[in-house]
Amino acid sequence: MPRYALTIAYDGTDFCGWQKQEPLLPIAGDDRPGDQAPSRPRESKLAAAEPLEVREGEDRARVALRTVQHVVEQAVIGVVREPVVLMGASRTDAGVHARGQVGAFTCGGEGEATGWPRSRGSDRLLRAINGRLPEDVLVTACSEAASDFDPIRGATSKAYSYTLHVSPPPPRGEGLRPLWDRRYVHHVWEPLDAGAMGAAARAVVGEHDFAAFAAAGHGRLSTVRTVFSCGVTRLEDAAGAQRLRIDITGNGFLWNMVRIIAGTLVDVGRGRIEPDAIAGILASGDRRLAGPTLPPTGLCLEWIRYGE
């Protein structure tokens, strides 16, 4: 049975993140303990037109929220005409974008009425899947993978970027907020010291305990991670505003880790945190000492790399 690997890009604005979510159908005005769904569901983000079947032991149906995993998995099922499970490498949050998410699935092969035989070729599979996807998600590459390929455990490094639109209000700046690409940048009104931010970024490189840069409830047994590189680059200015991009690579990231690092670097740029304070924040393990968690808007999963 062939296994296929997909490289997936998406605009995360209208998705509830990568991972499939099937919360209980909410009852108007009823916020029951343990109910995962909000009391007023965001109809635009419901992937299922009809509720799912009521499961044994539950008094209500569930709904499939609009997630990237669900949407791409349904497109694959429509092509191969059999149930598949699409495994993704990184569980990006709602609103986070990706250029290089990696997913994998296994389906039937030669001599079967369903599936996708190797003889048909991965290029045709790519075109067939894309033909069933909405405009905000695209499979950019498709290839056959080893039968035991695991996009999560096999990953050796990942890269994220966080883009800032810096436009101080008058008289220090023109005060223009982003318009055309507002979904992909985070707007900062205060001027930022990019040099100080770069110095602070270099301090997070290496193997550290990143407990101070992880959201509560991250669910990981260990908060030790290795950051291979972290830097701040000035991009071409847009609409009279400064553009800065934070790029970070590592062997893995904790929940909200990149967004908290970005928020800490922004506070350094504002002068609220000294660049040489990063080492102390890391050593403390105290989330309260780090900067804020920036919104998902400016965050993008750039690529994921594997061994051979």
Annotated domain spans of the chain: 3-145, 155-306
Three-state SS string across 218-230, please? CCCCCCEEEEEEE
Q: Which residues pair with 144 in a beta bridge?
A: 4
Please compute the mean of the pLDDT values over residues 181-200 and round it to a whole number. Answer: 94
What are the residue numbers of the active site? 93
Instruction: Name the least confident of 42-51, 233-242, 254-263.
Output: 42-51
How far apart (Å, rounded) are the C-alpha atoms in residues 236 and 244? 9
CATH architecture for the domain at 3-145: 2-Layer Sandwich (3.30)
Give percent above pLDDT 70 in the chain: 90
> Is the Cα torsion angle 273, 191, 236, 238 positive or negative in sign?
positive
Please compute the mean of the pLDDT values over residues 39-61 and round it to a whole number. Answer: 61
pLDDT at position 42 is 46
Structure tokens at 31: 């916020």
How far apart (Å, rounded) are the C-alpha atoms in residues 299 and 259? 7
Q: Which of 88, 99, 82 is closest to 150 using CA atoms?
A: 88
CATH code of domain 155-306: 3.30.70.660
Amino acid at 32: R
pLDDT at position 158 is 97
pLDDT at position 218 is 76
How confident is the prediction for the chain on average, in pLDDT? Answer: 89
Instruction: Name the least confident of 50-59, 113-122, 175-184, 200-209.
Output: 50-59
Under the banding of pLDDT at 50, 70 and 90, the label for residue 62 is confident
Query: Is residue 30 pLDDT above 60, yes or no?
Result: no
pLDDT at position 37 is 41
| 3-145 and 155-306 in the same fold | yes
| Residue with more model confidence, 147 or 177 | 147
- Report cis status (omega within 30 of 0) of the bond before 171: yes
This prediction has a pTM of 0.88
